[in-house]
């Protein structure tokens, strides 16, 4: 007799990942002629320097990369953060406050394992926005914590204000995820909101994880980040971690390269955990990544391309489906009444794949699923494809 292996029952509490749900809804994967706007995978050409530097550093494939990466990588991201957020020299110690990660997804997941221990017999809480990047909830559940979905302070297209939660809840909190600019809605947390969150984290002893991987894809002005807010507060990086990535900034989602910067004690613990279970960044990848963080020309070009796509979107969709230009990121968050029905219609009638907003949100006891009425449309293609797709989308959903 074979006894089937017992799996972790917590896995049953995870909904299927959004793309698996979408494949089920639409009855299969996309074909070669499909226009895939469901996934935030930039289709822009990666900078040529990536292939050149990987080749030049090919000898390093023969080396195990250290968990903390190369000094050159840590210096490059420190210089970048100092420039980007106008930080005082010394706020970030590149030796102790910077960690390379294999894309931010694994880091956003693993950080929950680092901070969600038992709190005097109580299950810790993890705060997250709703709608949200699905990894936050998966991380909380698998770390044995209780996810708390916090709606936007001013409706579905606004950032949550964690500082307004009751003190007992904040005392039980181990980790809070901020996403700015937000996936899926594209709104930005302003400095005042980030400051309230930083202060709440410090007052109640939790870690504020600020996911800023869309920070460089902005429309009118660069969004503030948690590092800049900490610099202004003048009390170092206590209790905060900033996550960022090259996937969107530099059009290299396949490179799997990002970083975490923040509280040195948390970074130390995180690095210890990751030396057991995290994927270290290969040294040739770290060399290419360092060069990308040192170059802004390709990022300016990328931003201009997204702006041109937002211009197209505004021309075609303006005044309909609750269209607005997202302050950051490259998603349209369109109010179509019933996101699943719209996704099916677009797929059947136009071979266009978009994601129902409900798959990016959790049921709220008062309001139901805040993503239900929406679709998320990723503007990741070239201008001509974007124009074709949005014209078809407007015609089909406007009927
Ligand atoms: C909000 C958000 N955070 C993090 C990630 C992870 O990106 P990566 O692992 O490529 O850095 C994504 C990817 O889509 C995202 O949308």
Query: Which domains, and CATH codes, for the chain?
Result: 9-45+298-397 (3.90.1150.10), 49-295 (3.40.640.10)
Residues with CB under 6 A from ligand 1: 40, 103-105, 108, 133, 179, 183, 211, 213, 245, 247, 253, 258
What does each C-alpha distance from 348 to 28, 43, 299, 365 come to in angstroms? 12, 23, 36, 33
CA distance linking residue 13 with residue 11, whole number of Å:
5
pLDDT digits (tens, 9 = 90+) for 250-289: 999 999 999 999 999 999 999 999 999 889 999 999 999 9
Nearest 5°: CA angle at 102, between 109 and 5?
Answer: 50
Q: How far apart are CA 129 and CA 209, in angstroms?
A: 12
Residue 245 CB contacts under 8 Å (≥ 6 apart), including other chains: 103, 104, 213, 257, 258, 259
Q: Distance (Å, rounded) from C-alpha 101 to C-alpha 107? A: 6
Give the pair of three-digit tokens for residue 7: 């799996």
Q: How far is the CA of 395 from the centre of ligand 1 (A)?
A: 31
Residue 86 makes CB contacts below 8 A (sequence gap 6+) with 228, 231
Ligand 1: centre distance to CA 188 (Å): 16
Enter the pTM of the model: 0.96
Cite the DSSP H helix spans in the chain.
18-26, 49-56, 71-85, 104-115, 135-142, 167-172, 191-204, 226-233, 246-249, 264-277, 283-294, 297-317, 339-350, 383-397
- Per-residue burial over 377-396, b if 16 or more Cβ lie within 10 Å, else e, is bbbbbeeeebbebbebbbee
Give exposure, 261-273, as e/b (b: 16+ Cβ within 10 Å).
bbbbebbeebbee
What integer best gives the mean pLDDT of the chain?
95
Q: Please give the distance, rounded to the nearest whole angstrom, from the Cα atom of residue 206 to the centre of ligand 1.
A: 22
Please measure the distance between the N-terminal and C-terminal CA atoms of the chain and give it in whole angstroms. Answer: 59
Please say if the pLDDT value at position 46 is more than 80: yes
- Asked if 329 and 181 touch (Cβ cutoff 8 Å), the reply is yes
Over the stretch 12-29, which tens digit does the pLDDT of each residue have? 988 889 999 999 999 988
Whether the pLDDT of residue 365 is over 90: the answer is no
* Confidence at 158, pLDDT banded by 50, 70, 90: confident
């Amino acid at each position: 007799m074979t006894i089937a292996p017992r799996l972790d029952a917590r896995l049953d509490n995870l909904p299927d990942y959004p793309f698996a749900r979408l494949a089920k809804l639409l009855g299969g994967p996309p074909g070669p002629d499909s226009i895939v706007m469901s996934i935030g995978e930039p289709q822009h050409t990666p900078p040529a320097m990536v292939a050149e530097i990987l080749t030049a550093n090919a000898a390093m494939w023969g080396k195990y990369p250290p968990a903390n990466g190369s000094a050159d990588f840590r210096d490059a991201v420190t210089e970048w953060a100092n420039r980007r957020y106008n930080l005082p020299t010394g706020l970030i110690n590149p030796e102790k406050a910077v960690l390379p990660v294999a894309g931010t997804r694994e880091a956003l997941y693993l950080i929950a394992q680092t901070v969600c221990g038992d709190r005097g017999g109580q299950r810790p809480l993890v705060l997250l926005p709703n709608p949200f990047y699905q990894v936050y909830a998966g991380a909380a559940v698998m770390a044995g914590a209780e996810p708390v979905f916090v709606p936007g302070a001013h409706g579905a297209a606004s950032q949550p204000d964690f500082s307004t939660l009751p003190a007992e809840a904040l005392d039980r909190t181990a980790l809070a995820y901020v996403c700015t600019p937000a996936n899926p809605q594209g709104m930005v947390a302003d400095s005042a909101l980030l400051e309230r969150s930083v202060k709440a984290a410090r007052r109640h002893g939790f870690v504020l994880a600020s996911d800023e991987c869309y920070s460089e894809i902005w429309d009118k002005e660069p969004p503030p980040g948690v590092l800049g807010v900490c610099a202004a507060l003048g009390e170092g990086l206590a209790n905060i971690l900033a996550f960022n990535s090259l996937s969107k900034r530099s059009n290299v989602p396949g490179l799997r390269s990002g970083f975490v910067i923040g509280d040195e004690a948390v970074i130390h613990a995180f690095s210890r955990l990751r030396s057991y279970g995290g994927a270290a960044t290969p040294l040739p990848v770290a060399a290419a990544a360092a060069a990308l963080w040192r170059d802004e020309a390709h990022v300016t070009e990328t931003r201009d391309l997204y702006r041109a796509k937002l211009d197209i979107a505004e021309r075609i969709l303006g005044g309909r489906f609750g269209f607005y230009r997202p302050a950051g990121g490259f998603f349209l968050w369109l109010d179509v009444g019933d996101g699943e029905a719209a996704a099916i219609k677009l797929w059947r009638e136009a071979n266009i794949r978009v994601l129902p907003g409900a798959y990016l949100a959790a049921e709220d006891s008062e309001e139901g699923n805040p993503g239900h009425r929406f679709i998320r449309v990723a503007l990741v293609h070239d201008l001509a494809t974007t124009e074709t797709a949005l014209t078809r989308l407007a015609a089909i959903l406007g009927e």
